[in-house]
Structure 1
Amino acid sequence: MDLRQLRQFVAVAEERSFRRAAERLHVSQPPLSVAVQRLEAEVGATLLDRTRHHVRLTVAGEAFLREARRTLAHAQLSVEIAQRAAAGKLGTLRLSFVPSAALGVVPQLLRAFREGYPDVKLVLTGDTTAHQMAALLSGATDVGIVVPPLHDARDFRVQPYCEQELMLAVPDTHPLAQQQRVQLRDLASESFVGFPFKEGPGFESVVMAACQACGFIPHFVEVAAQMQTILALVGGGIGIALVPQAMQAVQTEHVNYLQVRRRHVPVKYQLGLAFRPSNNNPALAAFVSMAHRLRRR
């Protein structure tokens, strides 16, 4: 017994006529009659009461019709679910991101993705770029929002997504605290709080390159793996820090933010989408495509 036989039976039962059912199915009448007879033989019961003038359902036929309709509807639903899953509209997407991206970039991406893919379950994790790459390599994450460049990205594809500006965080008692803007070259003698290079090599590379371009190497007196901890150290008067502009949304006591310029140009870093090309999760392809459509707006 297969779905084709069920469709043939349902057509005859609904049309109450082999001729009309044959027309509906675009087949000739004799093969249709034979197919229904074979179905009855498989079921072991007479499903249709046939005379010259009518075709009526038997009691067994009424019961079989209900279940046949249900089976066909479920089969169609299964096809639709499979098609939606293949198009990335169902399933699970595991997304990780550097914590500063949670303050602007991630909510924007999530809103856009939810609009087009409301039935995809999202599993979110905030982590450093280094930890994200390890999770991508192990298959624990599908896509990460990271800070390139990455030193060993042979197994990954990293696609640029957007640029973010750096700000200077200073203690509110610092001589610069009341200024709105500072030139990076004027910070050469300052004590810095930084991010561990092994946790975020891309971010720290941007910081080091910007400082070196201004003629100095920053003097780091403390490092911390979380931006909020860095801000707490700044608020405690330990030093100053170059942090993502988005961190201004985090209200940290005793911390003021200043625009920082290198030759009057903002200091920026890049966020990218990192994933493994071998990952065949359709929701991943849908997310990456959506992200780049959003970027082009």
Structure 2
Amino acid sequence: MTSVFYGFATKHPDVPFTLEEVEEMELMRGLEAKKYDFVIGGRHMLNEDTRLISPSTKDELMVIIPDTHPLAQNASISLQELASEKKILMNPYTAIYYQLCMQIFQQANISPNLLRTARVESILNTVSIGEGISLLPLNSLPIFRHDNIVAKPLNPAVSLAVVMARNKREKTSKKLCLLNFLRTLSKKKKTSSLRRLIFLLRLEVFSY
């Protein structure tokens, strides 16, 4: 999306535009405080005051284990198979930790056997030396490539929707300008995901 936003800023230099990357809780506080006009994040972290704009992409929660682990050859891994494993998860302030991982452990009636929490790069290093296993979004992994680990889908799978959203109470011309830009861009693209995007953007524009 960075190249898309750069294209918007280049085409519309009269519209003030800043792109920031922050942790999830700060992202939501910024939206509520009107610091941000739009946010991109997991659907699970949005509340009733946000208006969904598009299902930008999909992600999936994966089991991260050493490549020497007995389960490393499995096509998928269940939570029950991981019950006794020491786990290092993302930090508690992330939605992945408190709205996904802990929730699915609770639903499966499994104690998470938590070793500690950490950032993704530290988690991958810990898993690579065999100190524990983890659960991480698939799309996070290419950013932090690491040897000696494998990623396996959960069984049953846990999918994550990554979306763009705005505050329902905020209606401004610069928001409409960005939405129209994205709509025009999606018309030029022929991928199925962008065709879904244009449909939802039309709904969003007409809601103003």
The two structures have a TM-score, normalised by structure 2, of: 0.69
Note if 1:234 corresponds to 2:127.
yes
- Give the match for residue 268 of structure 1: 159
1:133 shift after superposition = 1.1
Written as runs of structure 1 = structure 2, the 5 A alignment for 1:205-284 is 205-224=99-118, 226-249=119-142, 250-262=144-156, 266-284=157-175
**What is the CA-CA distance between 1:158 and the residue it aligns to?**
4.6
Distance change (3 Å), C-alpha of 1:227 and 1:282 = farther
Asked whether the equivalents of residues 185 and 211 of structure 1 are also in contact (C-alpha less than 8 Å), the reply is: no
Structure 1 Cα separation of the partners of residues 81 and 91 of structure 2:
23
More helix by share: 1
SS in 1 for 2:44: coil
Comparing both chains, which one has the higher relative contact order based on Cα–Cα distances under 8 Å and sequence gaps of 6 or more?
Answer: 2
Corresponding residue for 2:190?
Answer: none
AA of the residue aligned to 1:237: G
C-alpha separation in 2, matches of 1:135 and 1:115: 24
Compare 201-210 and 244-253 and name the one that shifted more.
201-210
TM superposition shift of 1:132: 0.5
For residues 213 and 295 of structure 1, the distance between their equivalents in structure 2, rounded to whole angstroms, comes to 35
- CA–CA separation in structure 1 for the residues paired with 2:113 and 2:64: 15
Distance 2:138 2:79 in 1: 15
Contact 2:85–2:132 (CA under 8 A) maintained in structure 1: yes
CA RMSD of aligned residues (A): 3.2
- Per the alignment, residue 127 of structure 1 pairs with 22
Gaps in structure 2 of 5+ consecutive residues? 187-193, 198-208
Change (3 A) 1:159 1:251: same
Q: 2:36 aligned with 1:145, yes or no?
A: no
Specify whether residues 285 and 222 from structure 1 end up closer, same or farther in structure 2 by C-alpha distance, changes over 3 A only: farther
Report deviation, 1:204. 3.2
User: Offset of 1:191 from its aligned partner?
Assistant: 1.2
Q: Secondary structure at the match of 1:173?
A: coil
State how far apart, in whole Å, the 1-side matches of 2:178 and 2:111 are: 39
Q: Quick one: which amino acid aligns to residue 173 of structure 1?
A: T
Equivalent of 1:204 in 98, 101, 123: 98
Q: Percent identity, aligned pairs only?
A: 23
Alignment check: 8 A CA contact 1:183 1:261 kept: yes
Residue 66 of structure 2 corresponds to residue 175 of structure 1: no
CA distance, structure 2, for counterparts of residue 212 and residue 283 of structure 1: 43
Q: Deviations over 1:50-83 (max 9, x none)?
A: xxxxxxxxxxxxxxxxxxxxxxxxxxxxxxxxxx
Give per-residue Cα distances to partners, 1:171-198, cap 9 Å, x unaligned.
233222343422232111111111233x
Aligned match of 1:32? none
User: What's the offset of the Cα at 1:149?
Assistant: 3.3
Residue 203 and residue 221 in structure 1: after superposition, are their counterparts in 2 closer, same or farther (change >3 A)?
closer
CA distance in 1, matches of 2:18, 2:172: 14
* Mapped partners of 2:53, 2:80: distance in 1: 31
The answer to whether the 8 A contact 2:89-2:97 is kept is no
Q: Could you tell me which of 174, 184, 189 is aligned with 2:84? A: 189
Deviation above 4 Å: which 4+ runs of structure 1?
113-118
Structure 1: 5+ residue runs without aligned partners?
1-105
Asked if the contact 2:91–2:97 (Cα under 8 Å) also holds between the matched residues in 1, the reply is no
